[in-house]
Every structure is written in structure tokens, then in C-alpha cells.
Structure 1
Amino acid sequence: MPAPTQRLAKPARREQLLDVAMTIVRERGADELTLLTLAEAAGVSRPIVYDHFGTRPGLLLALYQRLEQRHRAETARALRDAEPAPAAVAGVLSAAYFACATEMPEFTAVSAALKGDREMEARQRELLEHYTELMAGALRPYSSLEPAALQLRCVGVLGAAESIAAELNSGRIGAPAAVAALTDLIAGGW
């Protein structure tokens, strides 16, 4: 068993546990992440981990939220620097999406691990809606679609992006091809 860790304030301990959980997912996969394996790897007692996350789905959702917030923040930052043109915005959105897929491979593993639990899928859906709102907001100045139609189009594009990411992650295509394909899908028909 690892040596006991220093006493941390609750928010700092939560961040430390999420860091360790991310390492477990990256190195061993999401199936290996349990509250027990997290407690052992972090060198804390099981009650501490249970106090922070309650259940394995709660832990997975906390990881998903962290990754999604980081991805959304990086996308928003890239959009602020984008040239104000539809193709440029589409390119930024595409590059940011696939940067997440390649730089945060845990995102896909954690997302897949949340499937099948209705409550967790509903909360995951809320986070997806935040991302589609960001995307729709970036595209709104270039679109003649009504807001609801634009939002739905963004949902569809993200579904396509997920499929393209699967191709990228399997090695069947490279990042430039993935970005180009998604950029074309985003830029067309707004």
C-alpha cells in the first residue's frame, strides 16, 4: 500500500483524486478504474474516495465533466482568435474537436464507460448540450437557420465527428484528413 498522502482541503483532494483517476484510465483503461483502485493508487482510504464520488459512475461522470469543461474552454479560446469567416470558424471547431480526441484519449474511454446508466447518460447529455450551444453560437453569425434548427444541425455534426474520431483513433485516417472532413461538414449548408 502506498505511503499515506498529506492532508488536503476537500477541493484539493478531489482534484488530486481526479488526476490519479485520469492516470489510471490513460495507463490501464476505464474498465480498471474503480473506487478501490483509485483509493489504492492515490494512497487514501476508501471512505475518502466514496465521500468524493459516491459510486463508480459518479467518479466517471466527474472525470467526463472535467474533460468536457477543459475541451469547451480550449475551443472557446481558439474561437476568440479565429478569423471571422465561416470556413475559419469551421476549421477551428474541427481542429479543437480532434485535438480533444488525440490529446485527451481518456475522453472517449470515459464516455463509453458511462453508457448504459440512464442517470449518467442524462447528465452526459447535458454536457453535450453545452458544447453544441458553444458550437451553434460560433456559427450563428454565418447561418440563416432558426436557432433550434442550428442547434440540431450541430448535434448531427457532432455525431459525424464522433464517427470520424473513431476512424482517427483506429489509425485508418490521420488528423489532417479528420479535420478536413469535419471542416467540410461544418462549413457546408449553414
Structure 2
Amino acid sequence: MSPTAAPSKRLPKAERREQLLETAMTIVREQGTDALTLGYLAERAGVSKPIAYEHFGTRSGLLIALYRQIDERQAATLAQDFERTSKRLADVAVLMGDSYMSCFRTAGPECHAIFAALKGDEEMERVQRDMTQGYVRMYRDLLAPYSKVGDAELLRRCVAIIGAGEALSREMSLGRIEETQAAATLANLIAGLVARA
């Protein structure tokens, strides 16, 4: 602990993990991913190093936990929004485009920085594959009622949608395109891919 950090009160494990993740995201936002180590996280959070290591194991484990948190928030937001939207393809496509870009706006450029810091990490490659497969299935389920193609082709088109969303969100986070433009382009792509036989 740093001499200036006040001792942290004892929290239940889940709350402590959430506090550590919030602190880690603040570090990434303020100083970049290079500054994020488990030791520095512990210092900033006002806990001992063993507590940070107990929660994440390694720096990669911490970065992966941050990436998963962003992903879980995106999935939850999309599911909630889908419940409230009309069930027409155009509306669903707009919802998906808006939700995708909103996630990256709220996560900020930190999301791409976290992913970049994990490039080449074997565990992250596995996590990324699992997350992508989860989104492919989620998108397929959302879009299946409107699809004019079989399940296998719809799955491949959902892979393309996710790839396009990644590219558009990266351009948006770099300030090269506006969020509304990125969301509209993704929505148009979704509607076109799903409606086309």
C-alpha cells in the first residue's frame, strides 16, 4: 500500500473484485494499459498485493477480467433494449447498431487498448474466440426470425456483422467517424445481410 492510501475496509469478495476492476479501469483511462500492474492496482485500491493477486492471478488475468466486464455489460444492455423494441428487422438492426457503438463509447478507447495489450496472449485468444462465438449465437437468435437464409449461412453473416462492428467501433474510438454514422452503417449492414437471400 502507498503511504498516502487509507487502509481499505473489508469487503465481501464480489464487492472487492468490482472495486478492483473499477480502479483498474480508472488506471487504464488515466495512464494507459502499460501502467496497469497488480502491484499498482493494489496500491491505488488501498489493498495489499496478495489481494489483487488472489482475484486475478496475473496481469493478463486482470486485463481479461476488464475485457469480460465490458463484454458482459454490452450483452446485458442489448438484451434489455431488445425487450423494449418492436420486432421489425429495421428496428432490431438499428438497436443492434446503436447498442454496439454505445458500448464502445461508454467503455471508451480503453476497450481497444485493453484488447491491444492482450494481443498474442494465449488465454485472451481463447476468451476472445468464446466471446465471439457467444455473440454470433446471440445475434443469430435475434436475427433468425427475419432471415432469408439457413442457419449455417446466418451464422457466417453474424461473424461478418461482428467483424464490421469491431472495425467501425475502432474508427469511432479514434475519432475518424461519428458514433451515429458508425451505428447507422452497422444497422444498414445488418438489415442488408439478413434480408438478402
Q: TM-score, normalised by structure 1?
A: 0.95
- Is the counterpart of residue 96 in structure 1 residue 114 in structure 2? no
Query: 2:43 — aligned with what?
Result: 40
Instruction: State which of 19, 22, 25 in structure 2 corresponds to 1:22.
Output: 25
Displacement after TM superposition at 1:48 (Å) = 0.8
Between stretches 46-55 and 140-149, larger displacement belongs to: 140-149
Cα deviation digits, residues 28-65 of structure 1 (max 9, x gap): 12222111110110011111111110001101111111
- Is the counterpart of residue 114 in structure 1 residue 118 in structure 2? yes
- Is the counterpart of residue 69 in structure 1 residue 67 in structure 2? no
Is the 8 Å Cα contact of residues 39 and 49 (structure 1) preserved in structure 2?
yes
In structure 1, distance between residues paired with 2:176 and 2:127 = 31
In structure 2, distance between residues paired with 1:44 and 1:7 = 9
In structure 2, distance between residues paired with 1:180 and 1:11 = 37
Q: What is the count of residue pairs matched by the alignment? A: 190
Between stretches 179-188 and 159-168, larger displacement belongs to: 159-168
- Is the counterpart of residue 185 in structure 1 residue 189 in structure 2? yes
In structure 1, distance between residues paired with 2:166 and 2:23 = 26
Is the 8 Å Cα contact of residues 86 and 142 (structure 1) preserved in structure 2?
yes
Is the 8 Å Cα contact of residues 61 and 124 (structure 1) preserved in structure 2?
no
Displacement after TM superposition at 1:27 (Å) = 1.6
Q: Look up the equivalent residue of 1:166 and give its one-letter code.
A: R
Is the 8 Å Cα contact of residues 67 and 115 (structure 2) preserved in structure 1?
yes
Is the 8 Å Cα contact of residues 76 and 134 (structure 1) preserved in structure 2?
no
Identical counterparts, % of pairs: 47
In structure 2, distance between residues paired with 1:83 and 1:157 = 21
Q: What do you get for the CA RMSD once the two structures are aligned?
A: 1.2
Gap regions ≥5 residues in structure 1: none
Displacement after TM superposition at 1:128 (Å) = 2.0
1:116-131 map, 5 Å: 116-131=120-135
Q: TM-score, normalised by structure 2?
A: 0.92
Q: Look up the equivalent residue of 1:66 and give its one-letter code.
A: Q
Query: 2:16 — aligned with what?
Result: 13
Q: Look up the equivalent residue of 1:156 and give its one-letter code.
A: A
Displacement after TM superposition at 1:73 (Å) = 0.3
In structure 2, distance between residues paired with 1:129 and 1:25 = 27
Is the 8 Å Cα contact of residues 157 and 193 (structure 2) preserved in structure 1?
no
